[in-house]
Amino acid sequence: MAKPAQPARQTARVVPLRKGTTLEMVRLACPDAAQALRISESFGLPLLDSDGIREIHERFIVETSASLSEGLGERAMQIHLQRIVGSYVGSAHGAGQFYSRAVTEARDATAKAANDSRDEDFDGPVGFESAAQRKREFAADMGLQAHALRMAAEGAVAAYKHVVGETWKPFERPLDNPGASVDRKAAALQMSAFG
């Protein structure tokens, strides 16, 4: 008895996705409330009302969603809030990355200033700050900004859950040209043939 021909299986096409920024990434990059308090106290900067920032952003998004509810359907509201929350999270993540770079520069400048044989890193004239001190102060300012934006993002994510009823996840869109990586590999292989 002959076997019936099996239909050819279609292979699923895997589309690479561009990963979005998550709230966890923001939390790793931006100072938490305890660290923001230490920064404020160490540098004589204002104390931030972390909970207040979070609550006002949550309330703001919930209230604006309520005002839009008559004009937007459920899915349209979800898409709208996805974009709004994504912008808050992306902004906080960018600030956190900038803060991290500022801290690295401040650490490097402070380490260089500790070297007694470097004339260019000595303090300036009396009454003027050293370059290392300016970098530390700049990093402190960036830390408080990153923390404030983190709290705004956390409020936005909480508002999304309140309005939509689901936990917010970043939108992951397909890469613009997934074949480009194959093209690059082929080009590299071809170029290697030339030696």
pLDDT score of 184: 74
Give the integer Cα–Cα distance in Å for 24 and 26: 5
How does pLDDT run across 78-106, given as a tens digit for each residue? 999 999 999 999 999 999 999 999 999 99
Domain ranges of the chain: 19-170
Reading the block at residue 46, the tokens are 């204002």
Q: Is 88 exposed, middle or buried (0-12, 13-18, 19+ CB in 10 A)?
A: buried
How does pLDDT run across 117-143, given as a tens digit for each residue? 555 545 555 555 688 889 999 999 999
Give the integer Cα–Cα distance in Å for 112 and 118: 8
How does pLDDT run across 11-59, given as a tens digit for each residue? 555 545 456 788 899 999 999 999 999 999 999 999 999 999 999 999 9
Is pTM beyond 0.75 here?
Answer: no
